[in-house]
Amino acid sequence: MILNITADHIDRHGSVEAYRDAKLRILANQSRSDHAVLPDRFEAGGSIAAQTVRFGGPESDISEIDGYICWHGEQLIKAGSLQLPGQHNQLNAQASAAACLLHGVEPELVSAALLSFEGVAHRLETVAVDHDVRWVNDSKATNVEAAITALRVFDSPVHLIAGGEGKGQDFAPLIGPIEDHCASVHLIGDSADQLAELLATASVPTSIDGTLESAVQSCASIASAGEVVLLAPACASFDQFTDFEDRGDSFRGLVRGIAS
């Protein structure tokens, strides 16, 4: 299964093309008896030995039709009934359901699993709602595209905590979504200065807080009822934390200390 390929780990691979080639190796050892679950219109390049199963498009094997997630036209669940927010999770659900159905899992069981799944830690995880301010841990958003996806989930004004180890990414695509969704931006880690320079001309108040603790305190002092504080760093965590889970755990602890 390949959900997407966007720019990431450029510091390791050297280019987007090299990263793409590395990720596509997931298909290299498949045979005709295997299945490759791929996004609609995704071009893997070269020949794919496996049987391809598509998700996300109007003509895909699994797709949203008239408000329902459907497998070969047969309804599974209402698309809006997932507990997970965001269009990207609609697509994740389609891909996951396709993999299960290909392995012979009964459609009723797949539907029940989709409806009951509440998500996992560090992926748009609501860690607290305090005075009607929602605190969300998306520490797994370790690249620009993931952070943009997280921002687009929320209609309410967002106080964004971002920064860390930049991995050689181009941060410029963040500017538009930040201007569209953010009430403030709070920068941490090694990339804080680079991000601050990029956002200097943006219409959103931006501060270099340096550490996650300082950023959480800053957000707590300005966030109002109905708003969201979102940790979506767009960066790796290794400059200040063991990994993204350690970063998310730290955020959760800090927030619960404020909310308690």
d(CA 109, CA 98): 13
Question: Residue 8 — very low, low, confident or very high, per pLDDT cuts 50/70/90?
Answer: confident
Strand runs labelled E in 41-141:
51-55, 62-65, 68-71, 74-78, 125-130, 133-137
Mean pLDDT score across all residues of the chain: 95
pTM score, whole prediction? 0.86
3 state DSSP class of 136: strand
Nearest Cα neighbor of 173 from 48, 8, 23 is 8
Q: Counting every residue, how long is the chain?
A: 260
Which H or E element spans position 210? strand 206-210
Q: Which residues contact 39 (CB under 8 A, 6 or more apart)?
A: 2, 3, 4, 54, 55, 56, 57, 91, 95
- Tell me, what DSSP letter sits at residue 165? B
Instruction: Encode pLDDT of 75-124 as tens digits.
Output: 999 999 999 999 999 999 999 999 999 999 999 999 999 999 999 999 99
Question: Residue 153 — very low, low, confident or very high, per pLDDT cuts 50/70/90?
Answer: very high
Nearest Cα neighbor of 146 from 88, 215, 199, 85 is 88
Give φ, ψ of 10 to 5 degrees: -65, -30
d(CA 131, CA 152): 23
Instruction: Encode pLDDT of 174-210 as tens digits.
Output: 999 999 999 999 999 999 999 999 999 999 999 999 9
- Tell me, what DSSP letter sits at residue 173? G
Helix axes 244-259, 212-222, angle to 10 degrees: 40
Instruction: Encode pLDDT of 40-87 as tens digits.
Output: 999 887 778 999 999 999 999 999 999 999 999 999 999 999 999 999
* pLDDT over 90 at 221, yes or no: yes
- 8 A C-beta contact, residue 62 and residue 97: yes
* pLDDT over 90 at 234, yes or no: yes
* pLDDT over 70 at 260, yes or no: no
pLDDT at 29: 93
Domains recognised in the chain with CATH numbers: 10-116 (3.40.1190.10), 125-259 (3.90.190.20)
pLDDT at 48: 87
- Residue 104 to residues 59, 97, 245, Cα–Cα distance (Å): 22, 11, 33
